[in-house]
A and B are shown apart, each in its own frame.
Chain A
């Protein structure tokens, strides 16, 4: 069965017809040629496909496109503003927070979403005070980014990149 939907992707309205079995990830990649979200597992286990869906990070392989008619999707590519990489992207460059780069767009979207969660005071498993503001120390960063696997093992540099962000 097909359905007609509209998505706002990286600031542009895109209308498309999708099979109701099509995931949000495949809609982006196969239908709209938006390929910065990657498919590392298709099962919600690696985080490569992470995008910001109405501002919150989601693994786009684990949700159907048809369920998101009218939604706003930001991918790593959409984080670039007027040719300028997002501060998190710049920090990844600065700290060499990647190697092959395949997990990277997902890591970056996840990090951007995570920083917002911290700002909003969402606690994580390692937060001591569940009611107060969150201090983004290394342990918090590591915990909150553990849904994004990196087989190249760039974690130490990713945490360094976000430490910079947390400090600024």
Chain B
């Protein structure tokens, strides 16, 4: 028996779930925990398949030009090579509008490392060896990969990421700066960075050509993705298939941090390979090296921040102008200054974004796009203003707290930044901070404390659907094509469903990570819990509405994400205050971060255990961004030369000492039925600035360029 009940916009259905729910708010262990610690969790490459074929990509070794000859004879002749596919013989794609995904469709090379072919072999060793035998001749054109603020070809994109306006201008910033008693006008830079999820991007693709009477082609993939439905709809479009001809499965994902939020070129390459060996699964796992050109990255940013204030530190002007790069073939405009628009009260405000389109790989989302680099600039500038005004940096922020969103004029759904700052100051021992930078020395170490604010918008993305089924004997299954990329979503959704159905946690299984499940939006923008969770609440309510407490076995009901009327009436953001202690070796410049504390305001926390892991994981990535991460583009070759973990450093355990996070006990009554805003990204926002500000407090040296390396601290 089935009953399809689409949730209506009734008061009952948008009401908040009861705070007395049994599972929500408890630190339930992860439902996928045992599989992960024992290693039985099967990620994309690990799924057992019959008779696999191994793909090894060929990549361009120039940054711009054309392939004029490609000799695959020797490679194709290797015993065990099944096919070598290049632009000369690859299947034509049905839709080539997205140039990143228009793989092997022409001889053009738009960035170094671009796919120019793929070798398919019976073993990985054979495919790799044969790939080394392919000889390519290019017609090279001059390339340009260098971002500078004084470029004459900077342009104004129509909009920036997430659809934000490119520029905003209110009042008269220049006049206010002129008149201000105290000013800061500085340039801050953040480097190109790479997401580097620990699991390389992987696709296992099987092409079944179909045939016979009404026999449709079918494409199946095991993929490492933050959205099975985005991969399905995109690949269907690119290959001219109906979505129902494509199935994407991805129950376990080894991290993504944005880079798996949308399909990239390797998905298309794997399918092109699969079409060359129909019926056999083609395994394509990018190597760590390849990920530096093919899986997205964060653009470098050059940010000019200007602050004007009166003697008391009250801001009269805030301007934040960012220069960034994008690839020549596809625009991605990081919203670096967008967060500044709502952060502090000032009558005169300006933000702007300008892009240089370069011969670089395609940039994309990386954890907290916009806010992560933007709050390095803004929050270091705020620290500089505090010094210039002779004010405590916590007090400076408190003085500039806006009553309503300065940008939209809307009331806040819940802005508790000041509480976060004050609570953190007490917990962290802020009053012991050296008043004069560079004055506390303990042995060889200079010691300092720093603070920065964090924020991240509340996103709830419509378009998800969930179905609840009763399996008999008190057990329910909830189906939604969501993704758990390490966030804890699988566990949290189980908790939400159990409470919404009013049954014990153990009575509910949630199925995720398969495009055959009801469609779900992307695990991105810290939107998963709010979007999928409220969808599940709607489905569970529809189920109870249709069947009551005693459903027949096989009963089924579905629900869509309810509308969010408050999202238009309120300005909704998560907030946080981040504190860091640093110790700088006076002789070597080595920087240690013995303590970090984040105090966050995120609405209701569904699972304190997984939430804390998300916060401290984000803060740890922020520490890594502060001290280690920088992708070095060699402008002569257009190549990221430090393209592995030996040279692109990410924080490891020796770097990470005491990182802790706490949060305000609250719910956001405007944030849908769960009262929860996002938590996945805010941890990285502000963390690098807190560390940079602590470095200044310790040494008196102001570092405005990330990462902060020891050489910058040696006189």
B123 touches A19 (CB 8 A): yes
User: In this assembly, does B2 line the interface, its C-beta being within 8 Å of a C-beta of chain A?
Assistant: no
A69-112: CB near B (< 8 Å → 1, else 0) gives: 00000011101100001000110110010111111110010000
B653 touches A158 (CB 8 A): yes
User: In this assembly, does B617 line the interface, its C-beta being within 8 Å of a C-beta of chain A?
Assistant: yes
B288, B609, B657: the one within 8 Å of A43 (CB)? B288
User: In this assembly, does B48 line the interface, its C-beta being within 8 Å of a C-beta of chain A?
Assistant: yes
Which of A39, A85, A142 has the largest number of chain B CB atoms within 10 A? A39
A102 touches B124 (CB 8 A): no
User: In this assembly, does A116 line the interface, its C-beta being within 8 Å of a C-beta of chain B?
Assistant: no
Chain B positions 263-320 with a Cβ under 8 Å from a chain A Cβ: 285, 287-288
A110-141: CB near B (< 8 Å → 1, else 0) gives: 00000000000000000000000000001001
B181-217: CB near A (< 8 Å → 1, else 0) gives: 0000000000000001111100000000000000000
B609, B651, B660: the one within 8 Å of A96 (CB)? B609
User: In this assembly, does B415 line the interface, its C-beta being within 8 Å of a C-beta of chain A?
Assistant: no
B645 touches A43 (CB 8 A): yes
**Interface residue stretch chosen among B240-248, B383-391, B399-407, B484-492:** B484-492
User: In this assembly, does A29 line the interface, its C-beta being within 8 Å of a C-beta of chain B?
Assistant: yes
User: In this assembly, does B30 line the interface, its C-beta being within 8 Å of a C-beta of chain A?
Assistant: yes
Q: A29-B46, A100-B253 are in contact. Are A41 and B610 (CB under 8 A)?
A: no
Q: Write the nearest CB–CB distance from A77 to chain B, whole angstroms.
A: 5
Contacts of A39 in B (CB 8 A): 45, 200, 285
User: In this assembly, does A150 line the interface, its C-beta being within 8 Å of a C-beta of chain B?
Assistant: yes
* Separation of A150 and B650 alpha carbons in the complex (Å): 9
Q: Write the nearest CB–CB distance from B253 to chain A, whole angstroms.
A: 6
Which of B39, B46, B610 has the largest number of chain A CB atoms within 10 A? B39
* Separation of A90 and B38 alpha carbons in the complex (Å): 10
Contacts of A89 in B (CB 8 A): 37-38
A40 touches B199 (CB 8 A): yes
B613 touches A154 (CB 8 A): yes
User: In this assembly, does B659 line the interface, its C-beta being within 8 Å of a C-beta of chain A?
Assistant: yes
* Separation of A127 and B240 alpha carbons in the complex (Å): 62
User: In this assembly, does A6 line the interface, its C-beta being within 8 Å of a C-beta of chain B?
Assistant: no
Residue of A nearest to B27 (CB): A96
User: In this assembly, does A146 line the interface, its C-beta being within 8 Å of a C-beta of chain B?
Assistant: yes
A100 touches B653 (CB 8 A): no
Residue of B nearest to A147 (CB): B652
User: In this assembly, does A148 line the interface, its C-beta being within 8 Å of a C-beta of chain B?
Assistant: yes
Residue of A nearest to B35 (CB): A101
Contacts of A148 in B (CB 8 A): 652-653
Contacts of B35 in A (CB 8 A): 101
A41-53: CB near B (< 8 Å → 1, else 0) gives: 1110110100000
Q: How many residues of B contact A (CB 8 A)?
A: 65
Q: How many residues of A contact B (CB 8 A)?
A: 58
A19, A21, A42, A157: the one within 8 Å of B288 (CB)? A42
User: In this assembly, does B249 line the interface, its C-beta being within 8 Å of a C-beta of chain A?
Assistant: no
User: In this assembly, does B71 line the interface, its C-beta being within 8 Å of a C-beta of chain A?
Assistant: no
Q: A41-B288, A146-B654 are in contact. Are A93 and B486 (CB under 8 A)?
A: no
**Interface residue stretch chosen among B160-168, B323-331, B528-536, B618-626:** B618-626
User: In this assembly, does A149 line the interface, its C-beta being within 8 Å of a C-beta of chain B?
Assistant: yes
* Separation of A42 and B199 alpha carbons in the complex (Å): 11
* Separation of A119 and B652 alpha carbons in the complex (Å): 23
Q: Write the nearest CB–CB distance from A96 to chain B, whole angstroms.
A: 5
Chain A positions 16-31 with a Cβ under 8 Å from a chain B Cβ: 19, 21-22, 26, 29-30
Q: Write the nearest CB–CB distance from B691 to chain A, whole angstroms.
A: 15
A152 touches B617 (CB 8 A): yes
Q: Write the nearest CB–CB distance from A148 to chain B, whole angstroms.
A: 7
B620 touches A156 (CB 8 A): yes
User: In this assembly, does B616 line the interface, its C-beta being within 8 Å of a C-beta of chain A?
Assistant: yes
A159 touches B653 (CB 8 A): yes
B108-125: CB near A (< 8 Å → 1, else 0) gives: 000000000000000111
User: In this assembly, does B254 line the interface, its C-beta being within 8 Å of a C-beta of chain A?
Assistant: yes
Q: Write the nearest CB–CB distance from B465 to chain A, whole angstroms.
A: 25
Contacts of A26 in B (CB 8 A): 124-125
Contacts of B39 in A (CB 8 A): 35-37, 75-77, 104-105, 108
Residue of B nearest to A94 (CB): B29
Contacts of B619 in A (CB 8 A): 153
Q: A77-B40, A93-B29, A101-B252 are in contact. Are A152 and B657 (CB under 8 A)?
A: no
Q: A33-B48, A155-B620 are in contact. Are A100 and B37 (CB under 8 A)?
A: no
User: In this assembly, does A12 line the interface, its C-beta being within 8 Å of a C-beta of chain B?
Assistant: no
Residue of A nearest to B649 (CB): A149
* Separation of A90 and B37 alpha carbons in the complex (Å): 8
User: In this assembly, does B154 line the interface, its C-beta being within 8 Å of a C-beta of chain A?
Assistant: no
Residue of B nearest to A37 (CB): B39
Residue of B nearest to A97 (CB): B37
B644 touches A92 (CB 8 A): no
User: In this assembly, does A13 line the interface, its C-beta being within 8 Å of a C-beta of chain B?
Assistant: no
User: In this assembly, does B569 line the interface, its C-beta being within 8 Å of a C-beta of chain A?
Assistant: no
Residue of A nearest to B40 (CB): A77
Contacts of B46 in A (CB 8 A): 29, 35
A102, A145, A154: the one within 8 Å of B43 (CB)? A102
Contacts of B197 in A (CB 8 A): 100, 102, 151
Contacts of A57 in B (CB 8 A): none
A48, A147, A153: the one within 8 Å of B617 (CB)? A153
A46, A48, A80, A153: the one within 8 Å of B651 (CB)? A153
Which of A46, A96, A146 has the largest number of chain B CB atoms within 10 A? A96
* Separation of A45 and B487 alpha carbons in the complex (Å): 25
User: In this assembly, does A143 line the interface, its C-beta being within 8 Å of a C-beta of chain B?
Assistant: yes
User: In this assembly, does B257 line the interface, its C-beta being within 8 Å of a C-beta of chain A?
Assistant: yes
User: In this assembly, does B612 line the interface, its C-beta being within 8 Å of a C-beta of chain A?
Assistant: yes
Contacts of A76 in B (CB 8 A): 37-39
Contacts of A22 in B (CB 8 A): 123, 125
User: In this assembly, does B41 line the interface, its C-beta being within 8 Å of a C-beta of chain A?
Assistant: yes
Residue of A nearest to B52 (CB): A30
User: In this assembly, does B32 line the interface, its C-beta being within 8 Å of a C-beta of chain A?
Assistant: yes
A153 touches B32 (CB 8 A): no
Contacts of B141 in A (CB 8 A): none
A99 touches B285 (CB 8 A): no
B613 touches A99 (CB 8 A): yes
B198 touches A93 (CB 8 A): no
B40 touches A100 (CB 8 A): no
B255 touches A151 (CB 8 A): yes
B37 touches A153 (CB 8 A): no
Q: Write the nearest CB–CB distance from A140 to chain B, whole angstroms.
A: 10
A108 touches B645 (CB 8 A): no
User: In this assembly, does B33 line the interface, its C-beta being within 8 Å of a C-beta of chain A?
Assistant: yes
B41 touches A151 (CB 8 A): no
Contacts of A158 in B (CB 8 A): 653
User: In this assembly, does B461 line the interface, its C-beta being within 8 Å of a C-beta of chain A?
Assistant: no
B34, B200, B617: the one within 8 Å of A40 (CB)? B200
* Separation of A155 and B41 alpha carbons in the complex (Å): 20
B652 touches A101 (CB 8 A): no
Q: Write the nearest CB–CB distance from B186 to chain A, whole angstroms.
A: 29
Q: Which residues of A contact B (CB under 8 A)?
A: 19, 21-22, 26, 29-30, 33, 35-43, 45-46, 48, 75-77, 79-80, 85, 89-90, 92-93, 96, 98-105, 108, 138, 141-143, 145-159
7 further contact pairs, Cβ within 8 A, besides A102-B255, A155-B620: A21-B125, A22-B125, A38-B199, A41-B288, A105-B37, A153-B617, A159-B653
* Those 6 A-B pairs whose CB atoms lie nearest each other, nearest first: A36-B39, A102-B254, A153-B620, A101-B36, A100-B486, A99-B486
20 A–B contacts from the bound complex (CB under 8 Å): A21-B125, A29-B46, A39-B285, A42-B288, A43-B644, A46-B288, A79-B38, A98-B36, A99-B486, A100-B252, A101-B32, A105-B39, A142-B654, A142-B657, A146-B653, A153-B656, A155-B620, A155-B659, A156-B656, A157-B616
